[in-house]
């Protein structure tokens, strides 16, 4: 409701290459767990501090966080001392549990590419080990998270996998004649 009152609102998030891990159980859609590593929490807090400073430097009139105990501040109405105190307080709050939204971007590595079917889902051509003719061509084939935006790498993976699909189709075509 509050956001609908503002025609110029920016939401920025800190993205960190995480060390923590999670599990999804096939028994229940409710059975998802993730353990945030303390290093991840520290990195996200540092990112949050930078974000608050960037927004203020960019001319934001008001800044805040999505933390359940988070506050907001009218940047142009406070002293530099009050601003610094606000940034320190907001960027030091605990992030684990359900205190603030934690999300993932650029999911990678859930269908790893590799040369051994015991430790990967697809072979080096992008074809799954279990289903012949089924190819995967996205960030899920990475062996792990890259730590950077994967756009160009995903484009390269998709192109190379498409070439593999073409090879398979050409072979099938020549053998069926």
Rounded CA separation 57/60 (Å): 7
Which tokens in the block code for residue 112? 């790893």
**Catalytic residue selected from 11, 66, 98, 106:** 106
Rounded CA separation 8/144 (Å): 37
Residue 45: count of CB within 10 angstroms of its CB: 18
Q: What is the largest CA-CA distance in the chain?
A: 80
| Catalytic residue status for 81 | no
Residue 52: count of CB within 10 angstroms of its CB: 23
Residues serving a catalytic function are: 106
């Amino acid at each position: 409701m509050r956001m609908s009152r503002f025609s110029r609102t920016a939401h920025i998030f800190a993205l960190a290459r995480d060390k923590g891990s999670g599990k999804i159980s096939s028994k229940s859609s409710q059975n998802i767990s993730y353990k945030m590593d303390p290093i991840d929490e520290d990195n996200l807090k540092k990112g949050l501090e930078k974000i608050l400073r960037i927004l203020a430097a960019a001319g934001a009139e008001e800044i805040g966080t999505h933390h359940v105990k988070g506050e907001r501040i009218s940047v142009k109405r406070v002293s530099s001392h009050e601003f610094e105190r606000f940034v320190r307080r907001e960027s030091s709050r605990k992030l684990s549990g359900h205190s603030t939204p934690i999300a993932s971007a650029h999911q990678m590595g859930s269908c790893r590419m590799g040369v051994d079917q015991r430790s990967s889902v697809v072979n080096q051509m992008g074809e799954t080990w279990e289903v012949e003719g089924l190819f995967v061509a996205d960030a899920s084939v990475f062996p792990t998270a890259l730590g950077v935006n994967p756009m160009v790498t995903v484009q390269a993976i998709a192109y190379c996998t498409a070439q593999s699909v073409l090879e398979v189709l050409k072979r099938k075509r020549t053998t069926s004649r």
